[in-house]
Structure 1
């Protein structure tokens, strides 16, 4: 079984689905409510677990009721959760307020992410199973720094995948070690007008650029191209990028080339957006994974 580490943010997402966004000083009634763990690294780990990988999440949770709810959801999804916060200690885990527009499937998010407190460094990395791929999401700099230092001593060194939705200062340190940097079309590299060349210039060997429902760009080893996204009726876009990154990690761990990995990740992300709710889509992914498994 391939093993993927996911290093970064966990939140607790409170997701409301409504007929439209409220205006200023206005309330709307939700037609659906879900509560689930969120965050780029956590969501990517959930995807990897559904795809049959050993998904190891290195994150900051703490012992609060909010953290316990997030952990329970992640473990129910098959994720191995490793908390850098000492047992019994509290940590201000962010609660994300999410609104999904019922008409378009587009999501709006308000969250403190990792800004409420600095997470402590992990002390257990040597005890974790050796990874084939390690994904960083750019949150929790102390955790990321410790993980990067740990990977330098591994032989062979696992592939490093960077989830870079929007620029964060930590990316200046992570891009030089990234085998693949998966960035959004809105990602900007300071001092560079072109996202692909700018991301390469800061050290990433491979670059992937997602454009929502548009073709995914890839660039590596002097070659470049695009991969089409399967057409789908988008009903819920929350976590679609995270699903893409989780699937990309699993494909890279399996040894897929970058364009092949992007194509497979597109399929998974398309499945995500076709289903309402943060977890309903996993049933289809698990069924497909079991059907494709060698007998």
Structure 2
């Protein structure tokens, strides 16, 4: 059974699916609501476990409380092993608000006000022979920085989930063997990202572009994968699902392009359902 460690921030998402965004001072009835643990690494880990892999999540949980308990119960039910890496008893899980529209396939996210946990535990034991692959997502940067030597010594592939470009993105990119980023990660376009990867000696990468599909480069070869033809209900978490599915398929087949195709189809399936989990239970 494939084993992967996902390192990243966890949040509690308050979600609503609506037909259209309301205007200023407007109100609209939700088509679906949920309160559910979220975050890029968390959603990817849940996807990886759902597909049959052994998933571990290194994340900051902080002080005991109902939000932390909800997260642990949920991930326990989804068979994801959780490792709290925060050593700050005052840290609290961020609360995120997400509104998605069915008509546009777009979403609006209000991130929690909490900053990342800066006082982290030493957990080099998590980065070793017990995992076959590691995914990082540009969060938990204090933990990643404190364990940079262990990550560089890791002999398996390190996958980067790159959303938007951040001040510290270059540090994460340098750690990655396989960066799979969104088009907003590099606003100057795929060629600029290709040049960036070439300068760092990265020969295998992909860029997701929503309805425009996926661009990939693999050791001199390159191509495009069209987006699946699905009736989109909700795109929330689709990128996270893509990464979790890619990690699982890549460990199973060893084929980069085959894994991208599999991840593309599974992420498309998730878009045909509301929220981040209902596709798993359909």
Whether the TM-score (by the shorter chain) exceeds 0.5 is yes
Once the two structures are superposed, residues 66-124 of structure 1 have per-residue CA deviations (whole angstroms, 9 ceiling, x without a partner) of 2222222222211111111359x3422111101111323322111037x5243433323
| Equivalent pair of 2:43/2:276 in contact (CA under 8 Å) | no
Residue 133 (structure 1) shift:
0.9
User: What SS does the corresponding residue of 1:37 show, helix, strand or coil?
Assistant: strand
Q: Residues 85 and 2 from structure 1, CA distance in 2 versus in 1: closer, same or farther, beyond 3 angstroms? A: same
Report the counterpart of residue 49 of structure 2 in structure 1: 49
| Equivalent pair of 2:32/2:274 in contact (CA under 8 Å) | no
Report the counterpart of residue 291 of structure 1 in structure 2: none
Once the two structures are superposed, residues 21-44 of structure 1 have per-residue CA deviations (whole angstroms, 9 ceiling, x without a partner) of 122233323232111111100010
Report the counterpart of residue 293 of structure 1 in structure 2: none
Once the two structures are superposed, residues 251-275 of structure 1 have per-residue CA deviations (whole angstroms, 9 ceiling, x without a partner) of 2222422111100101110111011
Residue 134 (structure 1) shift:
0.5
Unaligned runs of 5+ in 2: none
The number of aligned residues is 280
User: Does 2:142 correspond to 1:120?
Assistant: no
Report the counterpart of residue 165 of structure 1 in structure 2: 163
Q: Residues 193 and 260 from structure 1, CA distance in 2 versus in 1: closer, same or farther, beyond 3 angstroms? A: closer
User: Does 2:70 correspond to 1:66?
Assistant: no
User: What SS does the corresponding residue of 2:258 show, helix, strand or coil?
Assistant: helix
Deviating more after overlay: 67-76 vs 215-224: 67-76
Counterpart mapping for 1:82-121 below 5 A: 82-86=83-87, 89-112=89-112, 116-121=115-120
| Equivalent pair of 1:105/1:237 in contact (CA under 8 Å) | yes
CA distance in 2, matches of 1:253, 1:180: 13
Residue 241 (structure 1) shift:
0.3
| Equivalent pair of 1:50/1:282 in contact (CA under 8 Å) | yes
Q: Residues 147 and 269 from structure 1, CA distance in 2 versus in 1: closer, same or farther, beyond 3 angstroms? A: farther
Unaligned runs of 5+ in 1: 285-295
| Equivalent pair of 2:96/2:112 in contact (CA under 8 Å) | yes
Report the counterpart of residue 292 of structure 1 in structure 2: none
User: What SS does the corresponding residue of 1:27 show, helix, strand or coil?
Assistant: coil
Counterpart mapping for 1:261-280 below 5 A: 261-280=259-278
Report the counterpart of residue 81 of structure 2 in structure 1: 80
User: What SS does the corresponding residue of 1:41 show, helix, strand or coil?
Assistant: helix
Q: Residues 131 and 276 from structure 1, CA distance in 2 versus in 1: closer, same or farther, beyond 3 angstroms? A: same
